[in-house]
Structure 1
């Protein structure tokens, strides 16, 4: 019976043992898979997760007191992207706050400037 793979896919050493073997040892297998993964473009869910984590960090940084109003341009310069959020909450006035985990934001215009109202999730919002 002919061997399917003559050489290790990672280091090129001659293979011994099972006929369907592809790597000479577990380290070569791991190294080869790591190289293959690095060559692939970023996966979509990684991009989404990275942006959500960045958004959360920015909202947390600018909302130390539980409620704050910040110019949108400031957050956007930091890398904040309002299209990435985890859930929303609508208050009694009908304002829809978008949340990134426990930090929420609401877009509004004040004195001709685009601003975000930042809040932190509260237990009463569950109702």
Structure 2
């Protein structure tokens, strides 16, 4: 019988054992599959999910008290992208807050500066 693969696909070491073996151990198999996956272009779903998680982390970091006002340039400098949000809420004054899970933001111009008003979701908002 002929061996299909002579050396490990990841590290190149000679293989022992079954004739159809491709990797010398589970660690090499995992490392090789990880390397292949990293070379693939990012999928749309992953891109959106990663940005939503980043947005949530940034909003949470800057809104520890439940309400805060932060310059837009500060959040955007951290990687925040306001085009990615999960839902919205409109208050009685007609302001539309965009939410990333439980953290919301409202774009506002104050004293010539672009700012975000940050809030946390409350029960009365339902």
Q: TM-score, normalised by structure 2?
A: 0.75
Root-mean-square deviation (CA), in Å? 2.6
Secondary structure at the aligned position of 1:31 is classed as: helix
1:101 alignment counterpart: 101
What's the offset of the Cα at 1:97? Answer: 1.0
* Cα offsets for 1:1-24 (capped at 9, x unmatched): 433222221232333333322112
What's the offset of the Cα at 1:39? Answer: 4.0
Do structure 1's residue 55 and structure 2's residue 60 form an aligned pair?
no
Secondary structure at the aligned position of 1:89 is classed as: strand
Q: How many residues are paired up?
A: 126
Question: Structure 2, unaligned stretches of length 5 or more?
Answer: none
Name the CA shift for 1:98/1:32 in 2 (closer, same or farther; >3 Å).
same
Question: Structure 1, unaligned stretches of length 5 or more?
Answer: none
Name the CA shift for 1:73/1:35 in 2 (closer, same or farther; >3 Å).
closer
* Cα offsets for 1:86-117 (capped at 9, x unmatched): 22222233322111221100112233332212
Provide the C-alpha distance between the structure 2 equivalents of 1:3 and 1:111, rounded to a whole number of angstroms: 74
Secondary structure at the aligned position of 1:73 is classed as: helix
* Cα offsets for 1:16-35 (capped at 9, x unmatched): 33332211222322232233
